[in-house]
């Protein structure tokens, strides 16, 4: 006789039917398997055998019912102690703004290459995110999948392939020599602390967060050097009693190579000497140790400066690319340039920061005259 909870029943045709959960559908509802026999004992034995085979070949029912969101949160928690705060915040935004609303409710057994491709396509066509942003999101998805497989390789279907969208190469805005002269002349007119900071970034290739965090104590006029020791970021504030959603933080530079010492040109050193503050703790952009200028505000200032010069499409990072381009034009050694920019290797510098101007291309073409071409 069947026992309560066994899911073994005698049918109207006098056969015995045993039912068990062999998996789950994408919506979370169970998918049943069935065993049939002439007797109750035979049906029970078949049921136990089917359950045993299921446990050998698949993950436990408890784990397969856990949604993808659970593992995303677990992975994010583990990241908190092993990555920089800014990186953690980036992961947090990606997971809670993009991954969980679209894939969070999915059961692990339903994850597939096609499902992730559909997710990627929606981000591109419906949310209109850039291919670069989508690649970052899919990289996090890939990391979470890797985390799940390390917990139990049987939790996920095999061979989940992630197809990353191709990035169309976008040419970075670089100031021409004429534009740079116009912009420099504008900054030198009624020069104040902020204009000086923008000009210093143009002369050294500093990132926007690095110039915002730069203090006068980081500049040595005797050694004619500038030392990058920190960067400024606006990050999400997780404090329970936080008044604002975000906060300004000062952190070490984005990588080990970003913490660097940059030699100053004689021209840059003279400018620094003219603007130098007695207090080494004073911020370069404000001249005050108790008042800083955050990156967003500096970007707004730059937009105003370039608009008054008649320059279009110039973001702060364009100043960094302009600096790198000028260095290449005068024959800068790439390894040294890479270290001054704070890159991990010269290859990245060549691929991303070397923009050959028409003047440089023409000068190189003219070298063919030596062989009569």
Q: What distances in angstroms separate CA 41 from CA 7, 10, 22, 33, 301, one per listed residue?
A: 13, 12, 21, 18, 82
Q: Do residues 74 and 106 touch, judged by C-beta distance below 8 A?
A: no
Where in the chain are the domains?
8-57, 68-151, 177-226+260-365
Average pLDDT, the chain: 85
**In this predicted model, what pLDDT tens digit does every residue of 147-203 receive, in sequence order?**
998 887 777 777 889 988 887 777 788 999 999 999 999 999 999 999 999 999 999
Judged against a pLDDT cut of 70, whether residue 237 lies above it is answered with: yes
* Percentage with pLDDT > 90 across the chain: 44
| Rounded distance between C-alpha atoms, residue 21 and residue 23, angstroms | 6
Q: Do domains 68-151 and 177-226+260-365 have the same CATH topology?
A: no
**In this predicted model, what pLDDT tens digit does every residue of 88-131 receive, in sequence order?**
889 999 999 999 988 888 888 888 889 999 999 999 888 888 89
Q: How far is CA 119 from the centre of its chain?
A: 18
**In this predicted model, what pLDDT tens digit does every residue of 316-327 receive, in sequence order?**
999 999 999 898
CATH homologous superfamily of 177-226+260-365 equals Intergrase catalytic core (1.10.443.10)
Mean pLDDT of 252-259: 84
**In this predicted model, what pLDDT tens digit does every residue of 288-321 receive, in sequence order?**
999 999 999 999 999 999 999 999 999 999 999 9
- Is the four-CA dihedral 348, 353, 358, 362 of positive or negative sign? negative
Q: Was domain 68-151 assigned CATH 1.20.1280.50?
A: no
**Is residue 35 classed as helix, strand or coil in its secondary structure?**
strand
**Is residue 45 classed as helix, strand or coil in its secondary structure?**
helix
Residue with tokens 């028409």: 358
Mean pLDDT of 280-284: 95
DSSP string, 205-267: T--HHHHHH-BGGGEETTTTEEEE--EEEEEE---TT-SSSEEEEEE--SSGGGSEEEEPPHH
Mean pLDDT of 280-295: 94
* Cα angle, residue 106 at apex, residues 104 and 107 outer, rounded to 5°: 125
pLDDT at 210: 95
Mean pLDDT of 18-23: 78
């Amino acid at each position: 006789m069947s026992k309560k909870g066994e899911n073994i029943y005698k049918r109207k045709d006098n056969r015995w039917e045993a039912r068990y959960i062999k998996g789950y559908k994408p919506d979370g509802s169970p998918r049943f398997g069935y065993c049939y026999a002439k007797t109750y004992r035979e049906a029970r034995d078949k049921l136990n055998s089917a359950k045993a085979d299921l446990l050998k070949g698949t993950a436990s029912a408890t784990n397969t019912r856990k949604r993808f969101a659970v593992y995303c949160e677990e992975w994010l928690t583990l990241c908190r102690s092993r990555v920089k705060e800014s990186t953690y915040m980036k992961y947090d935004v990606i997971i809670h703004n993009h991954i969980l609303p679209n894939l969070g409710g999915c059961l692990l057994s339903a994850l597939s290459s096609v499902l992730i491709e559909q997710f990627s396509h929606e981000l591109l066509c419906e949310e209109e995110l850039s291919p670069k942003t989508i690649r970052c999101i899919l990289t996090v998805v890939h990391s979470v999948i890797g985390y799940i497989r390390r917990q139990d390789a049987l939790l996920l279907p095999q061979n989940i392939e992630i197809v990353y969208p191709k990035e169309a190469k976008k040419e970075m805005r670089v100031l021409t020599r004429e534009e740079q002269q116009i912009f420099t002349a504008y900054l030198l007119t009624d020069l104040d602390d902020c204009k000086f900071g923008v000009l210093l970034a143009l002369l050294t290739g500093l990132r926007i967060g690095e110039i915002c965090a730069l203090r006068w104590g980081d500049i040595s006029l005797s050694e004619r050097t500038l030392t990058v020791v920190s960067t400024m970021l606006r990050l999400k504030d997780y404090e329970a009693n936080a008044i604002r959603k975000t906060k300004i933080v000062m952190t070490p530079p984005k990588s080990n190579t970003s913490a660097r010492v940059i030699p100053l040109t004689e021209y840059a050193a003279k400018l620094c000497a003219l603007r130098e503050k007695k207090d080494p703790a004073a911020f370069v952009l404000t001249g005050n140790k108790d008042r800083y200028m955050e990156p967003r505000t500096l970007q707004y200032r730059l937009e105003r400066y370039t608009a008054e010069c008649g320059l279009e499409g110039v973001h702060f990072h364009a100043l960094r690319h302009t600096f790198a381009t000028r260095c290449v034009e005068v024959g800068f050694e790439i390894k040294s340039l890479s270290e001054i920019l704070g890159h991990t290797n010269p290859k990245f510098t060549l691929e991303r920061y070397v923009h050959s101007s028409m003047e440089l291309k023409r000068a190189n073409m003219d070298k063919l005259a030596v062989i009569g071409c």
